Amino acid sequence: IMIPIHDTQGRVIGFGGRSLGDEQPKYLNSPETPLFDKSKTLFALDKARNSITKQDQAVVVEGYFDAIALHAAGITNIVASLGTAFSLDQVRQLSRYTESKQIVLNFDADAAGTNAAQRAIGEIANLAYQGLVQLRVLNLPDGKDADEFLKSAPDATEKYRQLLLNAPLWLDWQIDQLLIGKDLQQADQFQQVAQAMVKLLKQLDDINQLTYYINYCAQILSQGQGKLVSLYIENLQTQLQKPLRAAFKKSPPRLKKPKQQGNQESNLPVGKERILLERAEALLLRIYLHCPDYRQTIIDTLDQRDLLFSLSHHRFLWQQIIELQGIGTQFYTTTPEQLISRLQDRSLQFPREMTQVAHLFHLDETCTEDILRAPMVIQAAAASLEIVALEKHRRYCLEQWQKIDLSNDWQGKQYYWQECQDANRRLIELEKIRQVGISDLLTM
């Protein structure tokens, strides 16, 4: 069976094949091309991204048919990996669409699926330890994959939704994996489990999270003997106070630190950076609304640079635009009058939100001048968005660099210092792009 694979804009970039019998390999994809990179592509993301944003959760399954079956059942925040380990590039893609950065891995519960989940966690473990992604793992009962599970009972769809809601955090899942096949009554197996727990706990930086899991692991090790819990808590704390080895055996990935749940703008910059964001995002939205010829340019620019609208009122308007237009030729054919009229129709449903963005539906003299030089304005606005994001990343790296003890983790120290230097160089480049030159204006 041949299945088309689309990019985030719905364009076919490759094909996936699945054997109908026991032939190997079970899945076979098109050869990689400049347009199709398996490690940077997620099957069905073009159809799932709106649902991922609405539900603030992305679910990753192993195969095409799992994703197709779940979408057919009405569970549409689903994507599938393409037979490769879940990569950092794929995490970055999904993180663009979910505010809380919540990603659920629903790999098969057999040995291969468990290994795939372990590989995926290993790849993005540093992100999860630092709170940059909220990672969960869902194993379905009886070792079924999602497609099989949905066919197992009339109410399987609702059961799947409930299992998804209760999917354990990845660290809980990791601890559960340590206990499989282990008899804690046996001294050697008890020691193996305890040592593996300490190894996991050493990676946690947040004191509240660390306290919780020390208590959780102590409860497990006490095997129901309440009097021993305090003893195991003390033992774990003692072991965790020993000097740690370097936390980074290879450079950790570059990913912007997400906002916490709750107030969506609590971590946004204030002052000059806030003004910069307000101006840049408004420019992009205005050009999109009033200049159909540049809509694809804006979409491509945001996509290529992994940029999002950060301010809640702009993010709301962008979501309404996507819902009204969908993906495809309507991006180009809807006139400004038609699109703005449809957006204004939503004022009754969202009066407060629409009032905040209503000024973007009109053009004054300054706005008209911006639109006349749209290509330069788009690049300058995108540079502004990237500047704000990169400034946050630079400050975060500087904070981490200052916290690290050089004698215990020189590689981590070196990594964050290099990140700060790279960010400084890139900020200089972006500032040049942001400043539209006099010669460009004269040319226009």
In angstroms, the CA 119 to CA 158 distance is 29
What integer pLDDT is reported at residue 85 of this predicted model?
67
Give the pLDDT of the chain (444 residues) as one tens digit per residue. 788 999 888 889 989 887 777 777 667 788 888 888 888 899 999 999 999 999 999 999 988 889 999 999 999 999 998 865 677 788 888 888 888 889 998 876 655 656 666 666 766 777 777 777 888 989 888 778 898 899 988 899 999 999 998 899 888 988 998 998 999 999 899 999 999 999 989 888 777 788 889 999 999 999 988 888 888 898 898 888 743 333 333 333 333 333 333 333 434 445 678 888 898 999 999 999 998 888 889 988 888 887 888 888 998 898 888 877 754 444 446 788 888 888 888 888 888 888 899 999 988 776 677 677 888 889 889 999 989 888 888 888 888 888 887 777 777 778 888 888 888 888 888 888 877 533 343 344
Are 297 and 430 found together in one domain?
Answer: yes
What integer pLDDT is reported at residue 116 of this predicted model?
62
The C-alpha torsion from 36 through 125 and 391 to 307, rounded to 10°, is 30
Is residue 137 classed as helix, strand or coil in its secondary structure? strand
What integer pLDDT is reported at residue 114 of this predicted model?
66
Look up the domain containing 54 and give its range: 38-174
| Contact of 139 with 109, CB cutoff 8 Å | yes
Beta-strand relationship, 27-29 and 12-18: antiparallel
State both tokens at 123: 């790849």
Residue 211 lies in a domain: yes
Backbone angles phi, psi at 281, to 5 degrees: -65, -40
Helices marked H in 241-373 — which ranges? 272-290, 295-304, 312-325, 330-333, 336-344, 351-357, 365-372
What are the angstrom distances between the C-alpha of 66 and each of 80, 123, 134, 150, 283? 8, 23, 22, 9, 40
Read off the CATH number of the domain in which 72 is found: 3.40.1360.10
- Chosen domain end from 174, 203, 229: 174
Buried b (16+ CB within 10 A) or exposed e, 60-95: bbbbbbbbbbbbebebbbbbbbbbeebbbebbbbbb
Residue 14 lies in a domain: no
Are 149 and 186 found together in one domain?
Answer: no
What integer pLDDT is reported at residue 68 of this predicted model?
94
Residue 166 lies in a domain: yes
Count of domains in the chain? 3
Are 116 and 51 found together in one domain?
Answer: yes
Are 276 and 419 found together in one domain?
Answer: yes
Angle between helices 229-240 and 187-201 (to 10 degrees): 50
- Chosen domain end from 125, 157, 174: 174
In angstroms, the CA 254 to CA 389 distance is 12
Whose tokens are 């473990």? That residue is: 125
Residue 364 lies in a domain: yes
Residue 22 lies in a domain: no
- Chosen domain end from 155, 174, 193: 174
Are 154 and 188 found together in one domain?
Answer: no
Are 227 and 155 found together in one domain?
Answer: no
In angstroms, the CA 152 to CA 174 distance is 27
State both tokens at 249: 């055996």
3-state secondary structure 261-278: CCCCCCCCCCCHHHHHHH
State both tokens at 73: 């059942």
Are 332 and 291 found together in one domain?
Answer: yes
State both tokens at 352: 């407060």
State both tokens at 19: 């054997």
Residue 371 lies in a domain: yes
In angstroms, the CA 175 to CA 305 distance is 36
In angstroms, the CA 139 to CA 61 distance is 11
What integer pLDDT is reported at residue 260 of this predicted model?
36
Closest residue by Cα to residue 77 from 164, 158, 4: 164
Are 103 and 151 found together in one domain?
Answer: yes
Is residue 223 classed as helix, strand or coil in its secondary structure? coil
Are 305 and 435 found together in one domain?
Answer: yes
Are 42 and 88 found together in one domain?
Answer: yes
In angstroms, the CA 56 to CA 306 distance is 17
What are the angstrom distances between the C-alpha of 300 and each of 57, 72, 106, 162, 308? 23, 29, 30, 36, 12
Residue 265 lies in a domain: no
In angstroms, the CA 387 to CA 197 distance is 40
Are 299 and 433 found together in one domain?
Answer: yes
Are 357 and 215 found together in one domain?
Answer: no
| Contact of 140 with 163, CB cutoff 8 Å | yes
Residue 403 lies in a domain: yes
Tell if the pTM clears 0.85, that is, is over it.
Answer: no
